[in-house]
Amino acid sequence: MNEDLIRKIEAAFTARFGSLDGAKLYFAPGRVNLIGEHIDYSGGYVFPCALTIGSYCIAKPRADRKLRFYSINIPKADVIETSLDDLHPLMEKGMWTAYPKGVIWAMAQAGYACTKGLDVVYGGDVPNGSGLSSSASLEVVTAIMLRDLNGFDEAKLNNIELAKIGNVAENRYLGANTGILDQFASAMGRKDSAILLNCGTMEYEYAPISMRGKRIVVTNSNKPHSLVNSQYNTRRAQSDAARDALKKVIPGMVNLCDIDLKTFYEHADVITDKVIFKRAKHAISENQRTIDSLKALKAGDLNRFGDLINEAGESIRYDYEATCEETDLLVDAARIQPGVLCSRQTGGGWGGCTVSIVDDENIKDFMANVQRIYSARSHYHATFYVVDVGNGPEIIKQY
Protein backbone atom coordinates (compact mmCIF):
# COMPACT_ATOMS: atom_id res chain seq x y z
CA MET A 1 0.00 0.00 0.00
CA ASN A 2 1.27 3.44 -0.85
CA GLU A 3 0.51 5.14 2.48
CA ASP A 4 1.85 8.47 1.35
CA LEU A 5 -0.42 8.49 -1.69
CA ILE A 6 -3.39 7.38 0.40
CA ARG A 7 -2.83 10.31 2.78
CA LYS A 8 -2.78 12.71 -0.18
CA ILE A 9 -6.03 11.27 -1.54
CA GLU A 10 -7.62 11.58 1.91
CA ALA A 11 -6.49 15.18 2.21
CA ALA A 12 -7.80 15.98 -1.28
CA PHE A 13 -11.15 14.37 -0.44
CA THR A 14 -11.55 16.37 2.76
CA ALA A 15 -10.53 19.61 1.07
CA ARG A 16 -12.99 19.20 -1.79
CA PHE A 17 -15.87 17.15 -0.47
CA GLY A 18 -15.74 17.50 3.33
CA SER A 19 -15.90 14.72 5.88
CA LEU A 20 -14.57 11.24 5.10
CA ASP A 21 -17.21 9.70 7.37
CA GLY A 22 -19.04 7.00 5.44
CA ALA A 23 -16.49 6.99 2.59
CA LYS A 24 -14.45 3.93 1.53
CA LEU A 25 -11.00 3.41 0.09
CA TYR A 26 -10.39 1.00 -2.82
CA PHE A 27 -7.39 -0.19 -4.84
CA ALA A 28 -6.82 -1.98 -8.16
CA PRO A 29 -3.39 -2.85 -9.57
CA GLY A 30 -1.66 -2.06 -12.84
CA ARG A 31 -0.09 -4.95 -14.73
CA VAL A 32 2.93 -5.96 -16.73
CA ASN A 33 2.55 -8.41 -19.58
CA LEU A 34 5.46 -10.86 -19.75
CA ILE A 35 4.59 -12.34 -23.13
CA GLY A 36 1.57 -12.66 -25.44
CA GLU A 37 1.45 -9.17 -26.93
CA HIS A 38 -1.25 -7.84 -29.20
CA ILE A 39 -3.03 -11.16 -29.40
CA ASP A 40 -5.71 -10.82 -26.72
CA TYR A 41 -8.10 -9.45 -29.35
CA SER A 42 -7.21 -12.37 -31.64
CA GLY A 43 -8.25 -15.01 -29.12
CA GLY A 44 -4.66 -15.74 -28.11
CA TYR A 45 -2.89 -16.53 -24.85
CA VAL A 46 -1.48 -13.74 -22.70
CA PHE A 47 0.77 -14.02 -19.64
CA PRO A 48 0.56 -10.94 -17.43
CA CYS A 49 1.02 -10.34 -13.72
CA ALA A 50 -0.49 -7.70 -11.47
CA LEU A 51 1.76 -5.08 -9.90
CA THR A 52 1.73 -3.64 -6.40
CA ILE A 53 1.28 -0.17 -7.92
CA GLY A 54 -2.08 0.86 -9.34
CA SER A 55 -5.07 3.15 -8.81
CA TYR A 56 -6.73 4.09 -5.54
CA CYS A 57 -10.02 5.86 -4.98
CA ILE A 58 -11.98 7.16 -2.03
CA ALA A 59 -15.69 7.29 -2.75
CA LYS A 60 -18.77 8.32 -0.83
CA PRO A 61 -22.34 7.88 -2.04
CA ARG A 62 -24.60 10.91 -2.40
CA ALA A 63 -28.32 11.21 -1.90
CA ASP A 64 -28.85 12.71 -5.40
CA ARG A 65 -27.62 11.59 -8.87
CA LYS A 66 -24.69 14.01 -9.02
CA LEU A 67 -21.18 12.71 -9.78
CA ARG A 68 -18.21 14.74 -8.56
CA PHE A 69 -14.77 13.51 -9.62
CA TYR A 70 -11.31 14.70 -8.70
CA SER A 71 -7.92 13.16 -9.42
CA ILE A 72 -4.80 14.12 -7.53
CA ASN A 73 -2.85 13.09 -10.64
CA ILE A 74 -4.66 15.71 -12.74
CA PRO A 75 -5.08 18.67 -10.37
CA LYS A 76 -5.38 21.08 -13.34
CA ALA A 77 -8.75 19.56 -14.24
CA ASP A 78 -10.06 20.42 -10.74
CA VAL A 79 -13.39 18.90 -9.61
CA ILE A 80 -15.45 17.70 -12.53
CA GLU A 81 -19.14 17.74 -11.83
CA THR A 82 -21.56 15.69 -13.89
CA SER A 83 -24.41 13.25 -13.24
CA LEU A 84 -25.62 9.69 -13.72
CA ASP A 85 -27.85 11.09 -16.47
CA ASP A 86 -24.97 12.64 -18.37
CA LEU A 87 -23.18 9.60 -19.85
CA HIS A 88 -22.38 9.93 -23.56
CA PRO A 89 -20.31 7.23 -25.28
CA LEU A 90 -17.55 8.43 -27.62
CA MET A 91 -18.19 12.08 -26.79
CA GLU A 92 -15.62 12.74 -24.10
CA LYS A 93 -12.30 12.71 -25.92
CA GLY A 94 -9.39 13.82 -23.76
CA MET A 95 -11.43 13.86 -20.54
CA TRP A 96 -9.95 11.60 -17.87
CA THR A 97 -13.43 11.22 -16.36
CA ALA A 98 -14.47 9.27 -19.48
CA TYR A 99 -12.88 6.22 -17.76
CA PRO A 100 -15.01 6.20 -14.60
CA LYS A 101 -18.05 7.41 -16.50
CA GLY A 102 -17.50 4.70 -19.10
CA VAL A 103 -17.51 2.07 -16.35
CA ILE A 104 -20.75 3.44 -14.86
CA TRP A 105 -22.26 3.35 -18.36
CA ALA A 106 -21.00 -0.18 -19.13
CA MET A 107 -22.32 -1.45 -15.79
CA ALA A 108 -25.76 -0.09 -16.62
CA GLN A 109 -25.55 -1.79 -20.03
CA ALA A 110 -24.83 -5.07 -18.22
CA GLY A 111 -27.96 -4.61 -16.08
CA TYR A 112 -26.31 -2.99 -13.06
CA ALA A 113 -27.50 0.59 -13.12
CA CYS A 114 -26.16 2.80 -10.34
CA THR A 115 -28.84 4.78 -8.56
CA LYS A 116 -26.78 6.94 -6.22
CA GLY A 117 -24.46 9.76 -7.16
CA LEU A 118 -20.91 9.84 -5.83
CA ASP A 119 -18.10 12.03 -4.62
CA VAL A 120 -14.84 10.36 -5.67
CA VAL A 121 -11.15 11.22 -5.45
CA TYR A 122 -8.69 9.12 -7.44
CA GLY A 123 -4.94 8.83 -7.23
CA GLY A 124 -2.48 6.38 -8.72
CA ASP A 125 1.15 5.41 -8.76
CA VAL A 126 1.25 3.83 -12.23
CA PRO A 127 2.68 6.41 -14.61
CA ASN A 128 0.06 7.40 -17.21
CA GLY A 129 0.68 6.13 -20.72
CA SER A 130 3.49 3.83 -19.62
CA GLY A 131 1.96 0.58 -20.89
CA LEU A 132 1.45 -0.65 -17.32
CA SER A 133 -2.33 -0.26 -17.48
CA SER A 134 -3.01 2.90 -15.57
CA SER A 135 -6.33 3.04 -17.47
CA ALA A 136 -7.37 -0.52 -16.71
CA SER A 137 -6.53 -0.07 -13.03
CA LEU A 138 -8.68 3.07 -13.02
CA GLU A 139 -11.53 1.13 -14.65
CA VAL A 140 -11.23 -1.84 -12.30
CA VAL A 141 -10.99 0.26 -9.13
CA THR A 142 -14.12 2.11 -10.28
CA ALA A 143 -15.90 -1.18 -10.98
CA ILE A 144 -15.19 -2.72 -7.56
CA MET A 145 -16.17 0.54 -5.88
CA LEU A 146 -19.49 0.64 -7.76
CA ARG A 147 -20.20 -3.02 -7.02
CA ASP A 148 -19.54 -2.47 -3.35
CA LEU A 149 -21.38 0.83 -2.85
CA ASN A 150 -24.43 -0.30 -4.83
CA GLY A 151 -24.56 -3.71 -3.15
CA PHE A 152 -24.46 -5.56 -6.50
CA ASP A 153 -24.32 -9.35 -6.06
CA GLU A 154 -20.64 -10.37 -5.99
CA ALA A 155 -21.43 -13.96 -6.93
CA LYS A 156 -22.95 -12.85 -10.23
CA LEU A 157 -20.89 -9.74 -10.79
CA ASN A 158 -17.56 -11.42 -10.00
CA ASN A 159 -14.16 -9.98 -10.82
CA ILE A 160 -14.09 -11.55 -14.29
CA GLU A 161 -17.38 -9.80 -15.08
CA LEU A 162 -15.89 -6.55 -13.75
CA ALA A 163 -12.93 -7.01 -16.10
CA LYS A 164 -15.33 -7.45 -19.01
CA ILE A 165 -17.24 -4.33 -17.98
CA GLY A 166 -13.98 -2.35 -17.91
CA ASN A 167 -13.22 -3.63 -21.39
CA VAL A 168 -16.69 -2.66 -22.70
CA ALA A 169 -16.14 0.83 -21.26
CA GLU A 170 -12.83 1.07 -23.11
CA ASN A 171 -14.21 -0.22 -26.41
CA ARG A 172 -17.61 1.41 -26.54
CA TYR A 173 -17.36 4.49 -24.34
CA LEU A 174 -13.78 5.52 -25.07
CA GLY A 175 -13.50 4.06 -28.56
CA ALA A 176 -10.25 2.12 -28.03
CA ASN A 177 -10.64 -1.38 -29.48
CA THR A 178 -8.47 -3.02 -26.85
CA GLY A 179 -8.72 -6.64 -25.71
CA ILE A 180 -9.35 -8.07 -22.24
CA LEU A 181 -5.69 -8.46 -21.15
CA ASP A 182 -5.31 -5.38 -18.96
CA GLN A 183 -8.60 -5.45 -17.11
CA PHE A 184 -8.34 -9.20 -16.52
CA ALA A 185 -4.82 -8.94 -15.11
CA SER A 186 -5.88 -6.10 -12.81
CA ALA A 187 -9.11 -7.76 -11.64
CA MET A 188 -7.67 -11.27 -11.22
CA GLY A 189 -4.10 -10.62 -10.07
CA ARG A 190 -2.48 -12.91 -7.54
CA LYS A 191 0.63 -12.26 -5.48
CA ASP A 192 3.81 -13.83 -6.88
CA SER A 193 1.93 -15.41 -9.80
CA ALA A 194 1.53 -14.68 -13.46
CA ILE A 195 -1.79 -15.51 -15.14
CA LEU A 196 -1.95 -17.54 -18.31
CA LEU A 197 -5.23 -16.49 -19.91
CA ASN A 198 -6.73 -17.89 -23.08
CA CYS A 199 -8.55 -14.82 -24.38
CA GLY A 200 -10.58 -16.94 -26.80
CA THR A 201 -12.18 -19.13 -24.13
CA MET A 202 -11.44 -17.05 -20.99
CA GLU A 203 -9.90 -20.14 -19.36
CA TYR A 204 -6.99 -19.23 -17.14
CA GLU A 205 -4.45 -20.62 -14.72
CA TYR A 206 -2.00 -19.11 -12.27
CA ALA A 207 1.70 -19.85 -12.60
CA PRO A 208 3.97 -19.09 -9.66
CA ILE A 209 6.75 -16.80 -10.80
CA SER A 210 9.93 -17.98 -9.22
CA MET A 211 12.96 -16.37 -10.79
CA ARG A 212 15.74 -17.84 -8.64
CA GLY A 213 17.92 -14.81 -7.96
CA LYS A 214 16.51 -12.77 -10.82
CA ARG A 215 13.99 -9.94 -10.81
CA ILE A 216 11.61 -8.49 -13.36
CA VAL A 217 12.69 -4.93 -14.11
CA VAL A 218 10.36 -2.56 -15.93
CA THR A 219 12.01 0.37 -17.69
CA ASN A 220 9.81 3.29 -18.64
CA SER A 221 10.95 5.08 -21.80
CA ASN A 222 8.79 8.01 -20.68
CA LYS A 223 7.75 8.33 -24.29
CA PRO A 224 4.00 8.39 -23.76
CA HIS A 225 1.70 6.27 -25.89
CA SER A 226 -1.95 6.82 -26.49
CA LEU A 227 -4.08 3.90 -27.52
CA VAL A 228 -6.93 5.93 -28.93
CA ASN A 229 -4.71 8.09 -31.11
CA SER A 230 -2.07 5.51 -31.88
CA GLN A 231 -1.98 2.85 -34.51
CA TYR A 232 -3.53 0.36 -32.11
CA ASN A 233 -6.90 0.27 -33.83
CA THR A 234 -5.18 -0.14 -37.21
CA ARG A 235 -3.24 -3.17 -35.95
CA ARG A 236 -6.42 -4.70 -34.67
CA ALA A 237 -8.11 -4.14 -38.03
CA GLN A 238 -5.12 -5.76 -39.81
CA SER A 239 -5.30 -8.82 -37.55
CA ASP A 240 -9.04 -9.05 -38.19
CA ALA A 241 -8.41 -8.84 -41.95
CA ALA A 242 -5.96 -11.78 -41.74
CA ARG A 243 -8.47 -13.78 -39.71
CA ASP A 244 -11.27 -13.09 -42.19
CA ALA A 245 -9.16 -14.19 -45.16
CA LEU A 246 -8.00 -17.40 -43.44
CA LYS A 247 -11.45 -18.26 -42.09
CA LYS A 248 -12.73 -18.60 -45.64
CA VAL A 249 -10.41 -21.55 -46.28
CA ILE A 250 -10.00 -23.10 -42.81
CA PRO A 251 -13.16 -24.81 -41.57
CA GLY A 252 -14.01 -24.23 -37.91
CA MET A 253 -11.60 -21.33 -37.44
CA VAL A 254 -13.06 -18.51 -35.34
CA ASN A 255 -10.11 -16.48 -34.03
CA LEU A 256 -6.77 -15.78 -35.69
CA CYS A 257 -4.95 -17.58 -32.87
CA ASP A 258 -7.03 -20.76 -33.34
CA ILE A 259 -4.51 -22.02 -35.89
CA ASP A 260 -0.86 -23.02 -35.52
CA LEU A 261 2.02 -21.83 -37.69
CA LYS A 262 2.00 -24.94 -39.86
CA THR A 263 -1.66 -24.45 -40.77
CA PHE A 264 -0.99 -20.76 -41.31
CA TYR A 265 1.81 -21.39 -43.81
CA GLU A 266 -0.29 -24.01 -45.62
CA HIS A 267 -2.99 -21.42 -46.28
CA ALA A 268 -1.02 -18.19 -46.21
CA ASP A 269 -1.40 -17.68 -49.97
CA VAL A 270 -4.92 -16.32 -49.33
CA ILE A 271 -3.26 -13.31 -47.72
CA THR A 272 -1.91 -11.29 -50.60
CA ASP A 273 -0.98 -8.16 -48.66
CA LYS A 274 2.58 -8.42 -47.28
CA VAL A 275 1.82 -6.25 -44.26
CA ILE A 276 -1.24 -8.29 -43.27
CA PHE A 277 0.88 -11.44 -43.66
CA LYS A 278 3.46 -10.12 -41.18
CA ARG A 279 0.77 -9.14 -38.67
CA ALA A 280 -0.74 -12.63 -38.82
CA LYS A 281 2.67 -14.28 -38.51
CA HIS A 282 3.30 -12.28 -35.35
CA ALA A 283 -0.05 -13.21 -33.81
CA ILE A 284 0.14 -16.92 -34.54
CA SER A 285 3.79 -17.33 -33.54
CA GLU A 286 3.31 -15.19 -30.42
CA ASN A 287 0.48 -17.45 -29.32
CA GLN A 288 2.75 -20.49 -29.58
CA ARG A 289 5.56 -18.70 -27.74
CA THR A 290 3.21 -17.82 -24.91
CA ILE A 291 2.05 -21.42 -24.48
CA ASP A 292 5.69 -22.57 -24.62
CA SER A 293 6.75 -20.00 -22.06
CA LEU A 294 4.46 -21.47 -19.41
CA LYS A 295 5.88 -24.92 -20.17
CA ALA A 296 9.41 -23.57 -19.81
CA LEU A 297 8.56 -21.88 -16.53
CA LYS A 298 6.95 -25.04 -15.17
CA ALA A 299 10.00 -27.07 -16.19
CA GLY A 300 12.25 -24.55 -14.42
CA ASP A 301 13.95 -23.75 -17.74
CA LEU A 302 14.52 -20.02 -17.31
CA ASN A 303 16.90 -19.82 -20.26
CA ARG A 304 14.19 -21.06 -22.60
CA PHE A 305 11.71 -18.69 -20.95
CA GLY A 306 14.10 -15.81 -21.62
CA ASP A 307 14.70 -16.85 -25.24
CA LEU A 308 10.95 -16.87 -25.87
CA ILE A 309 10.58 -13.38 -24.40
CA ASN A 310 13.42 -12.13 -26.60
CA GLU A 311 11.83 -13.74 -29.68
CA ALA A 312 8.52 -12.10 -28.75
CA GLY A 313 10.42 -8.81 -28.68
CA GLU A 314 11.71 -9.34 -32.23
CA SER A 315 8.27 -10.28 -33.44
CA ILE A 316 6.50 -7.21 -32.04
CA ARG A 317 9.30 -5.04 -33.44
CA TYR A 318 9.71 -6.39 -36.95
CA ASP A 319 6.48 -8.23 -37.80
CA TYR A 320 3.92 -6.27 -35.82
CA GLU A 321 5.86 -2.99 -36.00
CA ALA A 322 4.39 -1.75 -32.74
CA THR A 323 7.58 -0.47 -31.11
CA CYS A 324 9.38 2.86 -31.46
CA GLU A 325 12.96 4.18 -31.51
CA GLU A 326 13.01 4.78 -27.77
CA THR A 327 11.85 1.34 -26.64
CA ASP A 328 14.06 -0.31 -29.30
CA LEU A 329 17.01 1.57 -27.87
CA LEU A 330 16.15 0.47 -24.32
CA VAL A 331 15.82 -3.16 -25.38
CA ASP A 332 19.12 -3.09 -27.29
CA ALA A 333 20.87 -1.42 -24.36
CA ALA A 334 19.39 -3.89 -21.87
CA ARG A 335 20.30 -7.03 -23.77
CA ILE A 336 24.03 -6.29 -23.78
CA GLN A 337 24.22 -5.77 -20.01
CA PRO A 338 25.70 -8.49 -17.79
CA GLY A 339 23.15 -10.67 -16.01
CA VAL A 340 20.27 -9.91 -18.39
CA LEU A 341 18.19 -12.93 -19.35
CA CYS A 342 15.87 -11.11 -21.76
CA SER A 343 14.28 -7.80 -22.64
CA ARG A 344 11.41 -6.61 -24.83
CA GLN A 345 8.83 -3.84 -25.12
CA THR A 346 5.69 -4.62 -23.12
CA GLY A 347 2.10 -3.39 -23.40
CA GLY A 348 0.22 -1.50 -26.07
CA GLY A 349 3.35 -0.18 -27.72
CA TRP A 350 4.80 2.78 -29.65
CA GLY A 351 6.34 3.91 -26.37
CA GLY A 352 5.75 3.02 -22.75
CA CYS A 353 7.85 0.39 -21.02
CA THR A 354 10.18 -2.51 -21.60
CA VAL A 355 10.30 -5.60 -19.40
CA SER A 356 13.63 -7.26 -18.63
CA ILE A 357 14.66 -10.13 -16.38
CA VAL A 358 17.91 -9.33 -14.61
CA ASP A 359 20.15 -11.08 -12.05
CA ASP A 360 19.70 -9.49 -8.65
CA GLU A 361 23.32 -8.53 -8.23
CA ASN A 362 23.42 -6.80 -11.63
CA ILE A 363 20.32 -4.62 -11.24
CA LYS A 364 22.13 -1.54 -9.97
CA ASP A 365 24.63 -1.54 -12.84
CA PHE A 366 21.87 -2.44 -15.27
CA MET A 367 19.94 0.69 -14.37
CA ALA A 368 22.98 2.96 -14.46
CA ASN A 369 24.26 1.63 -17.81
CA VAL A 370 20.90 1.56 -19.57
CA GLN A 371 20.18 5.08 -18.33
CA ARG A 372 23.52 6.33 -19.63
CA ILE A 373 23.00 4.86 -23.10
CA TYR A 374 19.37 5.94 -23.25
CA SER A 375 19.86 9.56 -22.20
CA ALA A 376 22.81 9.92 -24.56
CA ARG A 377 20.86 8.73 -27.58
CA SER A 378 17.28 9.90 -26.97
CA HIS A 379 15.45 12.96 -25.76
CA TYR A 380 14.10 11.16 -22.73
CA HIS A 381 15.25 9.97 -19.33
CA ALA A 382 14.31 6.42 -18.32
CA THR A 383 12.75 5.40 -15.02
CA PHE A 384 13.10 1.93 -13.55
CA TYR A 385 10.81 -0.18 -11.48
CA VAL A 386 11.82 -3.51 -9.92
CA VAL A 387 8.58 -5.45 -10.00
CA ASP A 388 6.77 -6.93 -7.05
CA VAL A 389 3.94 -9.13 -8.28
CA GLY A 390 0.82 -8.21 -6.34
CA ASN A 391 -2.78 -9.21 -5.71
CA GLY A 392 -5.94 -8.10 -7.48
CA PRO A 393 -8.27 -5.31 -6.32
CA GLU A 394 -9.27 -4.75 -2.73
CA ILE A 395 -11.48 -2.73 -0.44
CA ILE A 396 -8.89 -1.25 1.88
CA LYS A 397 -10.96 0.51 4.49
CA GLN A 398 -14.15 2.22 5.53
CA TYR A 399 -13.83 5.64 7.16
CA 181 to chain centre: 6
Q: Which residues contact 28 (CB under 8 A, 6 or more apart)?
A: 54, 55, 137, 138, 140, 141, 143, 144, 186, 187, 392, 393
Q: Which residue's CB is nearer to ligand GLA, number 181 or number 271? A: 181
Q: Which stretch binds ligand GLA (CB under 6 A): 66-74, 89-97, 177-185, 369-377?
A: 177-185
Q: Which residue's CB is nearer to ligand GLA, number 23 or number 34? A: 34
Shortest spacing between CB 63 and ligand GLA, in angstroms: 36
What one-letter code names the amino acid at 391? N
Backbone φ, ψ for residue 341 (5° rounding): -80, -40
Tell me how far CA of residue 219 lies from CA of 20, 107, 260, 343, 377, in angstroms. Answer: 37, 34, 32, 10, 16
CA 365 to chain centre: 28
List the one residue from 13, 29, 30, 37 that touches ligand GLA (CB under 6 A): 37
Task: Say if CB 46 and CB 291 are below 8 A apart.
Answer: no
Q: Which residue's CB is nearer to ligand GLA, number 309 or number 367? A: 309
Which residues partner with 204 through β-bridges? 197
Q: Which residue's CB is nearer to ligand GLA, number 33 or number 82? A: 33
List the one residue from 348, 351, 390, 393 that touches ligand GLA (CB under 6 A): 348
Torsion of Cα atoms, 135 then 141 then 142 then 147, to 10°: 150
* Residue among 80, 54, 60 nearest 13 (CA): 60
Q: Which residue's CB is nearer to ligand GLA, number 32 or number 144? A: 32
Q: Which residues contact 112 (CB under 8 A, 6 or more apart)?
A: 146, 147, 150, 152, 157
* Residue among 372, 373, 303, 368 nearest 340 (CA): 303
List the one residue from 143, 181, 342, 353 that touches ligand GLA (CB under 6 A): 181
Phi-psi region of 250 (alpha: psi -120 to 50; beta: other; left: phi over 0): beta
182 classed as catalytic: yes
Q: Does residue 179 touch ligand GLA according to CB under 6 A?
A: yes
Q: Does residue 38 touch ligand GLA according to CB under 6 A?
A: yes
Site string for ligand GLA, 268-307 (x = CB under 6 A): ----------------------------------------
Q: Does residue 258 touch ligand GLA according to CB under 6 A?
A: no
> Got the DSSP string for 22-91?
T-EEEEEEEEEEEE-TT-GGGT-EEEEEEEEEEEEEEEEE-SSSEEEEEETT-GGG--EEEETT---TT-
Helix (H, G, I), strand (E, B) or coil at 361: helix
List the one residue from 127, 129, 200, 347 that touches ligand GLA (CB under 6 A): 347
Shortest spacing between CB 242 and ligand GLA, in angstroms: 16
List the one residue from 125, 182, 258, 319 that touches ligand GLA (CB under 6 A): 182
Q: Does residue 200 touch ligand GLA according to CB under 6 A?
A: no
Q: Which residue's CB is nearer to ligand GLA, number 233 or number 362? A: 233
Q: Does residue 119 touch ligand GLA according to CB under 6 A?
A: no
Catalytic residue among 119, 125, 182, 319: 182
Strands (E), the chain: 24-35, 45-61, 66-71, 80-83, 118-124, 193-198, 204-208, 214-220, 340-346, 353-359, 383-386, 394-398
Q: Which residue's CB is nearer to ligand GLA, number 48 or number 117? A: 48
List the one residue from 10, 17, 40, 257 that touches ligand GLA (CB under 6 A): 40
Q: Which stretch binds ligand GLA (CB under 6 A): 13-21, 32-40, 201-209, 276-284?
A: 32-40
- Per-residue DSSP letter, 228: T
Please state, in angstroms and rounded to a whole number, the distance separating the CA atoms of residues 252 and 110. 30
Shortest spacing between CB 38 and ligand GLA, in angstroms: 4
Site string for ligand GLA, 56-75 (x = CB under 6 A): --------------------
Shortest spacing between CB 395 and ligand GLA, in angstroms: 25
Sites of contact with ligand GLA (CB under 6 A): 33, 37-38, 40-41, 178-179, 181-182, 347-348
Point out the residues that are catalytic: 182
